[in-house]
A and B are shown apart, each in its own frame.
Chain A
Amino acid sequence: MDLSIRPADLTNTIFDFLDDGATTLVFPTENTARHYLSAYVRSRRRSVLADRAMAFDTFRAFFLPRHDDLRPSNKYYRLAFVTNFLDTQKTSLRYLYKDSLYDYRLRFVQFLTKILPDLWETERSVIESNSIRRDIAVLKSAYSAFLQGNGLFEPGWERCSLENNPQLSGRYVLVGSDSDIQMQMLLKDLGPSPNIDTLNKKEPGEARYLKFLTEEAEIESLFQKLEELKQSGVPMQDILISTPQMDALRPRLERKGREYNIPLSFMRSLLLADTVPGRYLFAVRRCISENLSFRSMENLLLNTSLPFCDMEANRLIVRTMTDSNIQGGNLEFSDDSLFRELRRLAQGSEDPVRSRAFELYRNMKSAITAIRRAHDGDELIKDIHGLTTLLFGNDEFSSSDPSDRDVYSFMFSELAQITKAVRQTGLAIRDLFSVFMGEVENLSYVEQDKRTGIKVYTYGQDALINVPWHFVVGINDGNSLVQKKCLAFLEDHEVRVRESYDVTDSMILCYTSSGDNVWISGSEVSYSGAQSTPTFFILNNAVEEMRSPSFRFYFEKADASSLETAEKTFMGDRGPDYAVDGGGPVIDLSGVSLSYTSISNYARCPYRTYLQSDQTKDVPDDFEPSKQDDKKIGSFLHEVVQAFMALHFGQVLSQEHLEQYYAELEDQMDKALEKSRDFDDLTKLCIKGKYMKALRSILDIMLKPSRKTGAIGPFMPLKNEYLLDSDSSFTGRVDTIIQDTSGNIFLLDYKKGGGDATYQLVLYKRLYDKRPPYGDSVRACYFYSMRDSQFKGIQDAKWKAQEEKLDHDIESLRTGYSAGDWKATPSKDSCERCEERSICRRRFNLQ
């Protein structure tokens, strides 16, 4: 019998049933049952046995058949069955399975494992396609034989019946059966029973659908309302929040909660993937799947919440990869490039960290390899322990947070269950670690969020819970659907007849009266895109457009903890900022050797010079292996040319030997590439592909037949240091000095890029003139652009101007160093690529 009631009467009706002592109430969830029991005790001031209100699952179990001699199958038995089935009988499935699917095992193992419990539904459905019908029959029959052979039964195939509980006595009232698919299915299975009644709301409450412009506006309005309630002293237990988008909205609700100082407690189990031990195993899996790529190693080794016993060694491994541009290790070979580099570092040093890092990497590789290869559960457990001990020491997670320990044990218990299932069935699972992690991925740890706060439920879980303030947020036409159809893994055209259930409207109806004050809201645009109003509200003409809700200003809700910190940090008295105020340390020039770079850098921005001179000079260039380091490529190309020039030191080059020179140049390039540890193989290939031609063209141009000289030489590099005046020492290195057959001296500087006109050549000429070791004075100076394969000289007029600029810049530097003037000179050009931008902050709009 259905006991329809007015929405407002639900609570009292439930209390009346609890009063009568003869009725047991059945609620969709344990939470709802507990809510009403507790409310009853507080209202009636009487004790009550907890079994007077039970969760639906407990009630359903009354009507299941008993199997005293059989064990229930579970996902691990199913997994074992499916993996074995695919290995031995895959060809018998012609429709549901395609072995042309790449990596089919992983995909189909999961798919078939998931559908096994639903196969009973074939009995009450009519499948259109013969091939599907046949496949399902084959699968079902094989699985049935497996169950029988192993003393198992499939709980998913169990049908409820009154006959399974002929002694059923007493009266049971199913509360909210209209909005619960499982209850509807049970009622259908059982048929009419004098012991079972239902209790449902039939009319909607007064709540309207508040439709905001955006989800941000919706959430902000929600929290402003919560703030009002907080200020007026409403206890948080009198408020519930419900949303169909728990995962998507959770971080945004948490954020607002933090800003408003309103604590929230999310009623969901913790995903294993979100726990520290879970992250550890996922990081190991990533190391395997990415073959020890830099990112996977970084992800594992720099995780500071893991109880690593030698973090220094971890960091050194990661840093070695970045410093030596090693993209990753390799599980296939014992001596990969990282292994070699770590060994080299360890051998050449007394630093114990280096040895430890090398040992750690070597052992870690073999431990991970063992995990990857494990086929047996016990073996896998042993291997995981092996790696964990290696990384965290003998205590493994023992010294860690107790909840970490529990989760870690829980994962092993899951693995133990797989092992047990596999062993009992006598089957084997290949690639056990992947299969295990595939399961772990979907596992939740039973422990719930225990934080105190306003409870946030997943939509549907709290539909029957009546509280003074009930907020249902983020609801739209799509996510409010509560439907189920049998054989859901088959499409509509594949099944002609099947049972289906749709309680969408009943569920919304329940919510419309789920409290003294009910707020149901959604928005036109949510964080996941445009969305539509639930049809229920449109049909009931209950949509309220929230076009211009008023929002308060930020500072009215400034978070206290944020303010506290702010008062300690950026507020209050401040010392000097050299970038703005100057007044920094004085540097004695006599101890400094200046170069073109230091002069031009100071001219560009003194503060940058200050930072780079001392404070940031040892900072790594990057924090991951670089595929291409322009500076290193530039230096490398210089070295190749230098090596070639050195071969011909003092000689005269002539056009007729051009082919030979090409060969020599290429030879130098190959040798240098082979020797270089700055680049990976690909970069080496690219450098050769892209720059060999540019290097050759230096010779092409110099030895052009049209040139009058026909041959030039000798070549000489110059590295020089000298005192330009009494207190300043300058160094410089000219890439190449050429003397032609007429005795003219030319200075060349190679540029990887375009070679913009600067006073670099002016300085070099002075260097040469100041201490001329090779004879005549300089005839001309050139940049050679490797990008454009072109020599670029400086016109006389510009030369003069650059000389003046050089003098000016040297003078500014001298004055600035001795006065400690490190003011920043921000400008579009100088700041654009400045690495110190984050420290200087002058170019930021936000100061």
Chain B
Amino acid sequence: MTFEQIMENERFFPNPEQRQVIESTRNTVVSAGAGAGKTAVLSWRFLRLVMEKHVKPEEILTLTFTKKAASEMRERIYSRLMKAKDSLPEDTLKSFGRATISTLDSFFAQIVRSDSISYSLPRDISVMTEDELEDLSERLAVRFLASPDCADEVSAIASLLMPSEIMEKFFTDAANNITITGEYDAVGISERFHKEICRVYEQRRQILGTALDMLGKLNLKGKFREQYDRMCSLFETESFTESDYFSLSGVSDEEVKEIVYDLVPVAGKDSGYSVLQDLAKSPVCVSRLQTAIEIFAGMLNSEKRRQGKLTFNDVVGIALCALRDNLELRSVFKNRFRFIMIDEFQDNNSVQRDLLYLLAEKRSLKGVAGRIPTVDELESDKLFFVGDEKQSIYRFRGADVTVFRHLQDEIGRNGSSLKLSTNYRSNPFLIRHFNEVFSRILSESDQVFDARYEPINAGRVVSDDRCRIEFAVYDKADIKDPEMDAGILEAEAIGDYCQRILDTDDFLVDGERPKPSDIAILFRSGSNQMNIEKALKRRGIEYQIAETRSLMLDAVASDFYSFLNCILYPYDTRSYIALLKSPFCGMCDRSIDNVIKGSEPLEVDKSRYEHLCRFLDQMREQAFRMTIPEVLETLYIEGGYKAYLDRGRDSRTFTEHYDYLFSYAISYEAEGRSLSDYARFIRDYLGTSKKLPDAEVLHKDRSGVQIMTVHKSKGLEFKVVIYCGTGSKPQNDKGSIVFKYNGDLVASENKSILKILEDDRKAKEQAELRRLMYVAFTRAKDHLIVMGGYEITSKGNMSTADVFKWYSSVIGFDTVTKSCSCPDVTVRDISKTQLKGQLSSHEAIDFVRPPMVDFQSRSKRVSVTGAKGHSDANDDLKSATMLRNLEVDSIIRSLNANDKFGTLCHLLLENMVKGKSVDGIECHISDKDQENRQLLDAAKELATSFFESELYNKHVSGHESRPELRFYTPNEDDPDVAVEGVMDLLVFGEDYNLVIDYKTDLVMDPELHRSQVLTYIKVAQDLFGKRCYGTLFYLRDGSSPGFWDESGNLMKSI
């Protein structure tokens, strides 16, 4: 079949844009909007390359942004190939395993490993997690702060921050932005930064000058004329301050007003013009903070090298250098792939682009070391980028949306710049709304870091295009209930919405009510997540979370922490009281009072108190012997906590809290950290809703309402999306004093400079906020609910967060009438939402203890062994005779090492019988050298005694023999059991064989070993078909008790 026929067969009828993309034969950049079917298109393109261009799968490099996306892409492509297998060249499918379909990060890591030593890195580099980086930077920060050599820099930091802030506001941000390939010289950066300030100042000065010229040409009068003249003079002398800015009182000329208004961001209040002016005039100054960054970067990068652990940014940076500078390596990689496809490229930056250019350099070119190929030097049909600048939301990871935009122009010149503008995901009605909203919101700014918007088309065919778009709003002033705040009110409203969606016909999709898993609650940050969870719990609505924010605010974490702290710190009375009151014990206050004062608990609490004391003692004894997950699991199960959670529907939902604690315990254990580190981790977060490190908690299925951040929702789609928290202002920036500015890492003690840097950061954050809003909206397939609150200021203005402002202005929301001018959107006032009461977690405890069944076990193998232990303790042995004591007996006894000493003797004997030297045999029974030497000497003496014995001389010497003969034999009593044993020595005689078993016992008691020897006799006869006798040899005195025959008769001689 041809490719066309296969598409037809699969009932895939690409639209013209999709066809163009699939068939593109040149370097291509595809701008693909949400829901445009890009994964499908990529997989079809892969198939086309294999079928029509006869490319092997391993010659196509397919890169995506996340591991999950890579995995999905791989499966999608594979299934596409599988379906077309009859039309593919032989072995195509078999070689698919060699195809590279991975994340950019892991592919770049592969490049780094190829040339790591050139970068003073070991070969076994690994990529460190965010938490690892944080840990490392914290340790280095402590070293930095304590170093006398850094005293000046530390003073500079200390003049701006308190100790508790220093880590978060200086070192963490610095560490996140420091790369191993970056330059951090304080002098150079200060010079560049000063130059940049001068440039910005000159730019503003020009605008201001032009505006003044324009104003000068107008007919200015009166006070404004005076103002203007003064302004011109200040402008000339470069002594202008914002407080000198124009006042428009009394000015009626609209043209003048317009110029003055437009000029506000340049020179008006809060514009920072005078700051720039002063800075530009002042000489270059190397800030001590800048030097601090330089020193810290040196420390951090050295440590990364030492540990062989890199950040993602390091990997990308080194990969770039490796391909750029090592022509041999570049040649290897560029020849390996004929085609390269990259998805989600909007979340990358110029370094990644350069890397791909290096991989796409024409094979015919040798390349120039140290230089990135130009577009003209690229293969003409190798690169294929897919992305959507509107969905670039990973600025914090270094994504630079401008790169994708420039790429469209750059590649588009010689190749193709295509688009996929049809959305097959969302209801056409929703798409109309997206176009209306985002064509305005995303066009408001013309900054280079803002995304552009082009309208999208509706591709989904629906029988009923009605869908709901609701704007759920509230005035914060309406909140009267003291237990309510904006977050709780929104959460309750979300609960009501979910109930309505699930229980009424208001949000039908194709005539059916959505299931819980069809609903997504999305937000920018999870600070209100706990309230949302609580609201859903109160309503009995099942939900699933992508990360927990409530973990450290509720009982489970607190109870486990109390227990752990009681293990670690017995003097922590608070934890002890908490433990006594927790489900681990459940004592009442009066009993606790008694116990704390040293008396007995009330009768009703006695048994639970005793139980806890025992358990606590046991845990204190055992906790450090266990892994951290084992400790938690023991507390969970044996401490009764699991049953406590299992008792009712409400409490059972908290099992997830335990799952998170358990998951953190696993990562702490895996990182080799201790129980005290783990307890500290909980302590640091307890009582806060701070974002916790990522945890690996999985659900068995996706069955509940999905609660997640917009970032986590990327790539997903839901029938109903509730986008909430749009009126909540982002929490005050943590106030970091380290900034990424024009590619440099910059910090300053000068507060004016900090403000300029902060403004720059905020502008970029706002642009990303708009894109986040786009991503959140476009996750909706059928219905969209946007939620948020506002306040009316004393001047009658609406005060709220940016997203709410943008959206309400686009849809024409009126706070007075609570209506909007956009006919598609229903405004719903949720101010009167009620708190629905507490959780009904007091369900009757109704446990039915399940019948406990133990796993059946049968012993498959048992060993044939003699009596164990130092049998001198056995006074009851009638036939026993004491043998001689050895000097080393006291050592053996103190180390409880009878068995080990016996094994040592056996080893020596085995070697001696085989005629091997025993010089190399060492003894490590004790941790003291002297004792080991004594034990070895004693064992040698015993072993030698065998060769001087009568038994040896009469029955062994001159005969063939086999020492340490291992065997298996069936157990006569139990067909399911195999017996395993070792004969110390089997001597092959002419008429009979003889089994000898050595004993190091202190007591001679042959009866004790009779059955053992009989088993040996039986096995030897079974295996060799010859009569066999058996005996013991007591090494301590060289005696033998006689010989057993197969019937168990003991004879003096044979």
> Is A303 an interface residue, CB under 8 A from the partner?
yes
Complex Cα–Cα for A46 and B1022 (A): 8
- What's the least CB distance linking A264 to chain B, in Å? 10
Q: Which of A149-157, A251-259, A597-605, A777-785 contacts B (4 or more CB under 8 A)?
A: A251-259
Question: Using an 8 Å CB-CB cutoff, how does the interface string of A244-271 with B read, 1 for contact, 0 for none?
Answer: 0001100110110011011100000000
Interface string of A827-846 (1 = CB under 8 A from B): 11000010111110100111
Prevailing SS type, chain B contact patch: helix
A635 contacts the other chain (CB 8 A): no
Contacts A38-B980, A49-B965, A558-B643: A682 and B537 contacting too (C-beta < 8 A)? no
Cα of A477 to Cα of B96 in the assembled complex, Å? 12
Within 8 A of A (CB), among B269-316: 302-303, 305-306, 308
Contacts of B636 in A (CB 8 A): 562
A327 CA / B142 CA spacing, docked (Å): 10
Once the chains are docked, how many angstroms separate the CA of A224 from the CA of B308?
42
Residue numbers in A under 8 Å from B647 (CB-CB): 566
Neighbouring B residues of A573 by C-beta, 8 Å? 604
Could you tell me if A41 and B302 are in contact, using CB atoms closer than 8 angstroms?
no
Q: Nearest B residue to A289 by beta-carbon distance?
A: B139
A568 touches B608 (CB 8 A): yes
Which B residues touch A827, using CB under 8 A? 482-483
B364 within 8 A of A: no
Which of chain A's residues 534-557 have a Cβ closer than 8 Å to chain B? 535, 538-539, 548-549, 551, 554-557
What separation, in Å, do the CA atoms of A558 and B848 have in the docked complex?
9
Q: Is the CB of B970 within 8 A of A41?
A: yes
By the criterion CB–CB under 8 Å, are A685 and B643 in contact? Answer: no
Residue B37, interface by CB 8 Å: no
Tell me if A220 and B624 are in contact (CB < 8 A).
Answer: no
One of B430-438, B495-503, B671-679 contacting the partner: B671-679
Q: Is B966 an interface residue (CB 8 A)?
A: yes
A530 with B72: CB separation less than 8 A: yes
Q: Does A717 contact B (CB under 8 A)?
A: no
- Name the CB-closest residue of A to B488: A828
The answer, yes or no, to whether A428 is at the interface (CB within 8 Å) is no
Q: How far is the CA of A332 from the CA of B303 in the complex (A)?
A: 21
Of the four ranges (under 10, 10 to 19, 20 to 34, 35 or more), the interface on chain B belongs to 35 or more
Contact B677 A299 (CB under 8 A): yes
Q: Which of B182-190, B215-223, B554-562, B948-956 contacts A (4 or more CB under 8 A)?
A: B554-562
Check A562–B855 contact: CB distance below 8 A. Answer: no
Q: Which residues of A contact B644 (CB under 8 A)?
A: 566, 569-570
User: Is A628 within 8 A of B164, CB to CB?
Assistant: yes
A405 touches B895 (CB 8 A): yes
Cβ contacts B970-985/A at 8 Å (1 or 0 each): 1000011111100000
Task: Decide: B569 and A844 in contact? CB cutoff 8 A.
Answer: no
Determine whether the beta carbon of B849 is less than 8 Å from that of A560. Answer: yes
A49:B966 contact, CB within 8 angstroms:
yes
Residue A804, interface by CB 8 Å: no
Residue B853 lies at the interface, judged by CB distance under 8 Å to chain A: yes
The stretch of A73-81, A103-111, A344-352, A694-702 that contacts the partner chain? A103-111
Specify which of A38, A258, A526 is in contact with B968 (CB 8 Å cutoff): A38
Beta-carbon contacts under 8 Å, B611-670 to A: 611-612, 615, 620-625, 627, 629-630, 633, 636-644, 646-647, 650-652, 654-655, 662-663, 665-666, 669-670
Contact B534 A845 (CB under 8 A): yes
Q: Is A527's CB under 8 angstroms from B114's CB? A: no
Contact among B69, B483, B701 for A213, CB-based, below 8 A: B701
Q: Does A616 contact B (CB under 8 A)?
A: yes
In the complex, the chain A residue whose C-beta lies closest to that of B95 is A535
When the two chains form their complex, are residues A557 and B850 in contact, meaning their CB atoms are under 8 A apart?
A: yes
Q: Which of B120, B328, B583, B1018 contacts A570 (CB 8 A)?
A: B583
Q: Which residues of A contact B19 (CB under 8 A)?
A: none
A690 to B372, CA, bound (A): 48
- Kindly state whether residue A298 has any CB partner on chain B within 8 Å: yes
Q: Which one of B583, B625, B925 has the highest number of Cβ atoms from chain A below 10 Å of its Cβ?
A: B625
| Chain A residues, CB < 8 A from B701 | 213-214, 217, 548-549, 551
Interface locus among B151-159, B225-233, B780-788, B936-944: B151-159
The reply to whether the CB of B770 lies closer than 8 angstroms to some CB of chain A is no
Q: Do A839 and B577 have beta carbons less than 8 Å apart?
A: yes
Residues B71 and A47 in contact, CB atoms below 8 Å apart: no
CB-CB under 8 A from B929, the residues of chain A are 381, 416
Cβ contacts under 8 Å, B665 to chain A: 251
Check B640 against A230 for contact (C-beta < 8 Å): no
Q: Which residues of B contact A533 (CB under 8 A)?
A: 75
Q: From A226, which residue of chain B is reached at the shortest CB distance?
A: B855
Partner of B588, one of A398, A576, A685, A844: A576
Q: Is A100 an interface residue (CB 8 A)?
A: yes
- The reply to whether the CB of A412 lies closer than 8 angstroms to some CB of chain B is yes
A577 contacts B by Cβ under 8 Å: yes
A235 to B853, CA, bound (A): 12
- For residue B965, which residues in chain A have a CB less than 8 angstroms away from its CB? 49
A567–B555 alpha-carbon span in the complex (Å): 19
Name the A residues within 8 Å of B729 (CB-CB): none
Q: How far is the CA of A576 from the CA of B593 in the complex (A)?
A: 12
* Cα of A566 to Cα of B643 in the assembled complex, Å: 6
Contacts of B861 in A (CB 8 A): 34, 38
A574 at the interface (CB under 8 A from B): yes
- Is A216 a contact of B589 with CB atoms below 8 Å? no
> Could you say which residues of chain A place their CB within 8 Å of the CB of B630?
251, 254
Bound complex: CA A525 to CA B716 (Å): 15
Q: Chain B: which residue is nearest A227 at the CB level? A: B853
- One digit per residue, 1 when the CB lies within 8 angstroms of any chain A CB and 0 when it does not, for chain B 562-590 equals 10010111111111011001111111111
A251-B629 contact in complex given A551-B700, A623-B683, A845-B537, C-beta closer than 8 Å: yes
Name the distance in Å between A835's Cβ and chain B's nearest Cβ. 7
Closest B residue, CB atoms, query A301: B676
B588 and A561: CB pair below 8 A?
Answer: no
The segment out of A140-148, A487-495, A758-766 that lies at the interface is A487-495
Contacts of B629 in A (CB 8 A): 251, 254-255
Contact assessment for B847 and A555 in the assembled complex, using a CB-CB cutoff below 8 Å = yes
By the criterion CB–CB under 8 Å, are A305 and B623 in contact? yes
Report A-chain residues with C-beta under 8 Å of the C-beta of B677: 295, 299
Are A569 and B142 CB-contacts (below 8 A) given A217-B701, A837-B558? no
B66 CB–A CB distance under 8 Å: yes
| Contact A525 B698, CB 8 Å, known A412-B924, A493-B329, A569-B640 | yes
Output the least CB separation between A153 and chain B (Å). Answer: 15
Of B118, B305, B483, B571, which one neighbours A102 at CB under 8 angstroms?
Answer: B305
Q: Nearest chain A CB to B226's CB is how many angstroms away?
A: 29
**Complex Cα spacing A322 to B666, Å:** 27
Contact B82 A413 (CB under 8 A): no
Nearest A-chain residue to B842, judged by Cβ: A847
Q: Is A575's CB under 8 angstroms from B698's CB?
A: no
Say if the beta carbon of B13 comes within 8 Å of chain A. Answer: no
The closest CB in chain A to the CB of B655 belongs to A554
- Check B856 for interface membership: any CB of A closer than 8 A: yes
Interface centre among B146, B308, B669, B927 (most CB of A within 10 A): B927
Give which listed residue, B608, B676, B980, contacts A298 with CB less than 8 A.
B676
Say if the beta carbon of A813 comes within 8 Å of chain B: no
Contact yes or no, A570 B968, CB < 8 A: no
Residue of A nearest to B607 (CB): A568
**Residue B826 lies at the interface, judged by CB distance under 8 Å to chain A:** no
Q: Identify which of A234, A569, A685, A690 contacts B856 (C-beta below 8 A).
A: A234
Residue of B whose beta carbon sits closest to that of A683:
B163
Which B residue sits closest to A686, measured CB to CB?
A: B158
Map CB proximity to B onto A681-710 as digits: 1 under 8 Å, 0 otherwise.
111011111100000000000000000000
Given contacts A410-B924, A689-B155, A847-B841, 19 further A-B contacts (CB under 8 A): A49-B966, A49-B967, A217-B700, A258-B637, A276-B625, A282-B672, A299-B676, A303-B624, A493-B333, A530-B67, A558-B850, A563-B640, A563-B847, A575-B591, A585-B593, A623-B565, A683-B162, A827-B482, A837-B687
Closest 8 CB pairs of A and B: A575-B588, A565-B640, A50-B966, A305-B624, A566-B643, A413-B924, A530-B68, A689-B159
9 contacts between A and B (CB under 8 A): A37-B968, A102-B302, A217-B700, A319-B571, A409-B927, A525-B698, A562-B641, A689-B155, A690-B158
